[in-house]
Chains A and B, each alone.
Chain A
Amino acid sequence: MKSRTLSVLAALAATFVASTAIAETNLTVYTAIEAVDLDRYKATFEKAYPDIKINWVRDSTGVMTAKLLAEKDNPQADVVWGLAATSLLLLKSEGMLEPYAPAGVDKLDKRFVDSANPPSWTGMDAYVAAICFNTVEAKKLGIAAPKSWKDLTKPEFKGHVVMPNPNSSGTGFLDVSAWLQMFGEKDAWAFMDGLHQNISAYTHSGSKPCKMAGAGETVVGVSFEFPGAKAKSAGAPIDIIFPEEGSGWEAEATAIVAGTANIEAAKKLVDFAVSKEANEMYNEGYAVLAYPGIAKPVEHLPADVADHMIKNDFEWAANNRKAVLAEWAKRYDAKSEPKS
């Protein structure tokens, strides 16, 4: 009798212990991933780690970066999962990131991991600069598809090219920094001078040029591959062109915010973010993954997207950002005013 009571007590105790063990940790996760992906990423992670719940805080890359910087002295986020690596470098240089080497980080492509040891950020996937080219409108105007960046400076493209303004769009800066790294300072500015003659508008966001090309508002949208594939599946008559000189790219990345109260749960999330399983999850929209060798081709995108990526120096880009943007604004912002 007595032993039975004891065993009941023991069972109760066990239940109690077990329930405290799976007491949920809530993680506030800042992100800039696509709105459609939020639920899928959350569900996949929470299936793997049932005791951690993600509370997403999502906005566009620029807004999210501004928000994180504004909260510098009083961070609200535990983890950043899915923000541009350049933005995370900016946060790192403010001392806002907690360095951590997640389990399995050595399996990742080195280009996708912070060079410091332990790394402050780890990559997930990449978005790669591309040209969205409206074939219907091009045919009406008799314009041949561009093969290279330099083709876009040809006179027939005059007034038919839209690109993001690097001063307000991460994608725009990615293009400019890639041209500077590929062509060298002097040639790159000469190229941009020529391109500027053909530009009809600089947009605020990076995906808008591609969507404008999709809707026929422009013939050429300088953008990246992801909105291109999306517009194409929505029925837009566009070709996604990777210029032959190579394309700038940006990694989406993960980092722990220094000072988080939930460091253990945060580490688990980062462990998951670099795992093979997570990378397969990213593959649904992104053709280039941080985890080498597992990427399957994405609909409407060529299989060799990764081969077009240039050798990108994130640190150079982050530390020269201000000077490059000032030069860009000096050259093109003032001139781009209509002569009225």
Chain B
Amino acid sequence: MSAAALVLPTGRAPRLQLSSDDVVKRGLMLVIALYLVLALAAPLYVLLSKSMSTYRFDLNAFEITRSDESGTAFGPARTVAALNADAKAIPDDQLDTGSDGRLSLTKLYEDFSFRSPVKYRIRGTTDDAAFLVGSDLKRGTDWVEVDSNTFRRVVLRPARTVGFDNFVAYFSTPSLAQAIWNSVLMGAISTILVIAIAFGLAYAMNRSRMRLKGLFRLIMTAPILVPSLLPGIALVYLFGNQGLLKSWMMGHSIYGPIGIVIGSVFFTLPHALLIISTSLSVADARHYEAAAALRATKWRTFWTVTVPGARYGVISAAFVVFTMVITDFGLPKVIGGQYNMLAVDIYKQVIGQQNFEMGAVVSVLLIIPAIAAFFVDRTIQKKQVALLSARSVPYEPKPNPGFDWGCFAYCALIAAFILTMIGVCQLAAMVKFWPYDLTPSLKNFRFDLMDGGGWASYHNSIKMALLTAVFGTIIVFTGAYMVEKSDGFRAGRSLFQFLAMLPMAVPGMVLGLAYIFFFNNPANPMHVIYGSMAILVICTITHFYTVSHLTALTALKQMDREFEPVAASLKQPFHKLFFRVTLPVCLPAILDISIYLFVNAMTTVSAVVFLYSTQTQLASVAVLNMDDAGDVAPAAAMGMMIFYTNIAARLIHAAVSRFLLSRTQVWRGR
């Protein structure tokens, strides 16, 4: 026996066996990841490349020859670049232009006179070179002969190139660069105000024993149910030149920074309140007992116990509010007056001037602060440690009549502000001709007589919101389930997680514009959905993906990871576990996601404003367009229709939740 015979043959390396369940799960995750790539990453990439696409007159691409006074003997052909080198008529910086640029040629000839009998011939040196005679487009290398009078009307068209020129052009236009500063300033002021107000509210809600907390909570969330244009319209009726409370403005104009700040406070308040309230609702009574034992004053306790406990909530809320204010365009569009903001700039560039490249440039600029805010927020969130341990004693506020009534008064004041804003829109919508004929009338609800798409747009909105709620919930929940409950494939899961968080940092306008570039391209096979309801639904789901995803994740994290191994050991396929256990347990979260998507789909303007077609006009966009055309009262009326629809949806949601939960959540009680 030789030693070699004792060596065992090397076996196959051990490999993890993928069960069929794992294959299905990864397949599903891949499908949803693909969805996010196509609906988010790819359009954003196209947007970025569009912002780099610039236009420049290529003087080497054109040749001109001119005749003598007889009009028959032509001189040698020279390129426009050569002519310009001699005449020095067109400085280099005038050659950079936009897609609609035009360059007149008469200044190349010092002795040019339109009465002269001299004739001109012009042609391109390449097939793509384009020029206009008057408004007739000429292209290619055939000579075009014109007389001197017509030569006045010859203009060159620019060629497309790639570079950073658009950014340079944007920053060198003072009014446009000013928009960046304005946006940041408005964002900062509104954020400070909102956080202060929301903190007070959250404090009153969580740390006092005042009455009507439930009612106040309900009123404070009302602004979520209306498009962000509505506070703008309300402010016009309250403080405009014919406003009910105009004297309160003391001569200042509501159109501009004042209006933007008040309106921003209105529509971001519920979001800030929700976040801060959550961070204030968990408190350890032992900290307060310790403070009392150490004879700390109430003031000192507030700053050393309450505020530090809530600081992550406050910071998080601040970033959310800041991002909302600088990326919202509905409000500054209505009430901003001459105060230029970035988000309105995109709209002006694209809709007003058809300057898609510049719109892309502003989009890229707008994405930067949003992404920065997002990452800072993520970093801070990681530092958040659990305030509540198993040994914590929940804090129970004690009755304190003075303090409680103070809180009540404060909440009542803010509630009055919110109700007044919504109420004045209702009032304006119901009168015949503000402010000269105040007889009640339903005339403003005859939307079919106005711009904006009429009642059809309202029906479209409901359809869009329902589709978004149904498909969005399915996509989001499936995606979250695959991320949370599958094993291995770590790299793929973190990439998926990143894609799912990205929509939070992408402003709606940017997403909408990116969709135009990506889908409105005949070379793209998905071009067919451009202008359809599908693109609106996809865009809206993507726009509101992150919050829904986080809600689903939170619900799924409540479930012990042991369920999967147990099911596997019992040889139960995962879909059975999913439908029999996971889905019923997570039902409250699923219902929350669907109502969140529905309400936001009803009110969203920023993304869909670039994507709707005549067949798919939406109520929220109709509010914008009617206000734009000066039909402010009908715009208010449509805004109120959205408000009532969302209230109805909320009520149905509450009823359905109660019914389903009574059937499926019995196990939660003992």
Identify which of A36, A57, A321, A336 contacts B614 (C-beta below 8 A). A57
A selection of 8 A-B contacts at a CB cut-off of 8 Å is A35-B451, A71-B520, A92-B136, A92-B137, A116-B135, A168-B348, A212-B630, A319-B135
Once A70-B520, A217-B241, A322-B102 are accepted as A-B contacts, the answer to whether A204 and B352 lie under 8 Å apart by CB is yes
Asked whether, in the complex, the Cβ of A319 is within 8 Å of the Cβ of B433, the reply is no
Among the 9-residue stretches B79-87, B253-261, B283-291, B412-420, the one with 4 or more Cβ atoms under 8 Å from chain A is B253-261
Identify which of B97, B102, B339, B353 contacts A167 (C-beta below 8 A). B353
Taking CB atoms and an 8 Å cut-off, the chain A residues in 3-55 that contact chain B are 34-36
Once A57-B614, A92-B137, A235-B436 are accepted as A-B contacts, the answer to whether A216 and B241 lie under 8 Å apart by CB is yes
Question: Nearest-CB distance from B250 to chain A (Å)?
Answer: 15
Residue numbers in A under 8 Å from B450 (CB-CB): 35
Per the bound structure, the CA–CA distance linking A56 and B454 in Å amounts to: 14
Once A208-B630, A337-B178, A337-B182 are accepted as A-B contacts, the answer to whether A201 and B520 lie under 8 Å apart by CB is no
Sample of 20 further A-B pairs with CB below 8 A, known A35-B448, A208-B628: A35-B450, A35-B452, A35-B454, A60-B629, A66-B351, A71-B520, A115-B134, A204-B348, A205-B629, A207-B630, A211-B629, A236-B433, A318-B135, A319-B104, A319-B153, A329-B175, A337-B339, A337-B340, A338-B257, A340-B257
Residue numbers in A under 8 Å from B549 (CB-CB): none
Once A73-B522, A92-B137 are accepted as A-B contacts, the answer to whether A325 and B353 lie under 8 Å apart by CB is yes
Identify which of B340, B350, B630 contacts A66 (C-beta below 8 A). B350
Residue numbers in A under 8 Å from B516 (CB-CB): 70
Contact indicator per residue, chain A 304-340, by CB within 8 Å of chain B (1) or not (0): 0000000000010011111101000110011011101
Asked whether, in the complex, the Cβ of B256 is within 8 Å of the Cβ of A338, the reply is yes
Identify which of A36, A211, A323, A334 contacts B630 (C-beta below 8 A). A211
Closest to A63 in B: B351
Residue numbers in B under 8 Å from A315 (CB-CB): 134-135, 153
Asked whether, in the complex, the Cβ of A218 is within 8 Å of the Cβ of B451, the reply is no
Asked if A278 CB lies within 8 Å of chain B CBs, one says no
Asked if A59 CB lies within 8 Å of chain B CBs, one says yes
Asked if B70 CB lies within 8 Å of chain A CBs, one says no
Asked if A145 CB lies within 8 Å of chain B CBs, one says no
Per the bound structure, the CA–CA distance linking A218 and B236 in Å amounts to: 12
Asked if A136 CB lies within 8 Å of chain B CBs, one says yes
Asked whether, in the complex, the Cβ of B348 is within 8 Å of the Cβ of A167, the reply is yes
Closest to A316 in B: B153
Per the bound structure, the CA–CA distance linking A319 and B97 in Å amounts to: 14
Per the bound structure, the CA–CA distance linking A338 and B631 in Å amounts to: 26
Identify which of B100, B256, B257, B449 contacts A90 (C-beta below 8 A). B100
Taking CB atoms and an 8 Å cut-off, the chain B residues in 113-148 that contact chain A are 132, 134-137, 139
Closest to B527 in A: A74
Residue numbers in A under 8 Å from B631 (CB-CB): 211
Contact indicator per residue, chain B 521-537, by CB within 8 Å of chain A (1) or not (0): 01000010001000000
Residue numbers in B under 8 Å from A336 (CB-CB): 175, 338
Question: Nearest-CB distance from A122 to chain B (Å)?
Answer: 15
Once A60-B629, A200-B253 are accepted as A-B contacts, the answer to whether A237 and B436 lie under 8 Å apart by CB is yes
Per the bound structure, the CA–CA distance linking A169 and B45 in Å amounts to: 31
Residue numbers in B under 8 Å from A149 (CB-CB): none
Asked if B435 CB lies within 8 Å of chain A CBs, one says yes
Closest to A213 in B: B630
Per the bound structure, the CA–CA distance linking A58 and B339 in Å amounts to: 30
Residue numbers in B under 8 Å from A71 (CB-CB): 520
Residue numbers in A under 8 Å from B139 (CB-CB): 95
Taking CB atoms and an 8 Å cut-off, the chain B residues in 136-167 that contact chain A are 136-137, 139, 153, 155, 157
Asked whether, in the complex, the Cβ of B102 is within 8 Å of the Cβ of A333, the reply is no
**8 A-B pairs closest in CB distance:** A211-B630, A168-B352, A333-B175, A208-B630, A74-B522, A334-B175, A95-B137, A336-B338
Question: Nearest-CB distance from A87 to chain B (Å)?
Answer: 10
Asked if A234 CB lies within 8 Å of chain B CBs, one says yes
Asked if B613 CB lies within 8 Å of chain A CBs, one says yes
Asked if A94 CB lies within 8 Å of chain B CBs, one says yes
Once A35-B451, A235-B432 are accepted as A-B contacts, the answer to whether A58 and B614 lie under 8 Å apart by CB is yes
Asked if A153 CB lies within 8 Å of chain B CBs, one says no
Identify which of B97, B352, B435 contacts A216 (C-beta below 8 A). B435
Residue numbers in A under 8 Å from B134 (CB-CB): 115-116, 315, 319
Contact indicator per residue, chain B 264-297, by CB within 8 Å of chain A (1) or not (0): 0000000000000000000000000000000000
Per the bound structure, the CA–CA distance linking A289 and B240 in Å amounts to: 38
Asked if B632 CB lies within 8 Å of chain A CBs, one says yes
Question: Nearest-CB distance from B622 to chain A (Å)?
Answer: 11
Identify which of B97, B185, B338, B351 contacts A62 (C-beta below 8 A). B351
Once A93-B137, A321-B100 are accepted as A-B contacts, the answer to whether A215 and B632 lie under 8 Å apart by CB is yes
Asked whether, in the complex, the Cβ of B356 is within 8 Å of the Cβ of A70, the reply is yes
Once A57-B614, A92-B136 are accepted as A-B contacts, the answer to whether A201 and B338 lie under 8 Å apart by CB is yes
Residue numbers in A under 8 Å from B242 (CB-CB): 215-217
Question: Nearest-CB distance from A98 to chain B (Å)?
Answer: 13
Per the bound structure, the CA–CA distance linking A132 and B531 in Å amounts to: 37
Per the bound structure, the CA–CA distance linking A325 and B355 in Å amounts to: 13
Asked if B434 CB lies within 8 Å of chain A CBs, one says yes
Residue numbers in A under 8 Å from B433 (CB-CB): 215, 234-236
Asked whether, in the complex, the Cβ of A56 is within 8 Å of the Cβ of B614, the reply is yes
Contact indicator per residue, chain A 215-235, by CB within 8 Å of chain B (1) or not (0): 111100000000100000011
Per the bound structure, the CA–CA distance linking A169 and B132 in Å amounts to: 25
Once A217-B242, A315-B153 are accepted as A-B contacts, the answer to whether A227 and B255 lie under 8 Å apart by CB is no
Asked if A202 CB lies within 8 Å of chain B CBs, one says yes
Residue numbers in B under 8 Å from A235 (CB-CB): 432-433, 436-437
Contact indicator per residue, chain A 281-316, by CB within 8 Å of chain B (1) or not (0): 000000000000000000000000000000000010
Per the bound structure, the CA–CA distance linking A254 and B253 in Å amounts to: 42
Asked whether, in the complex, the Cβ of B175 is within 8 Å of the Cβ of A337, the reply is yes
Taking CB atoms and an 8 Å cut-off, the chain A residues in 245-268 that contact chain B are none
Identify which of B236, B339, B436 contacts A236 (C-beta below 8 A). B436
Asked if B333 CB lies within 8 Å of chain A CBs, one says yes
Residue numbers in A under 8 Å from B97 (CB-CB): 322
Residue numbers in B under 8 Å from A76 (CB-CB): 531
Contact indicator per residue, chain B 169-188, by CB within 8 Å of chain A (1) or not (0): 00001111010001001000
Asked if A210 CB lies within 8 Å of chain B CBs, one says yes
Asked if A138 CB lies within 8 Å of chain B CBs, one says no
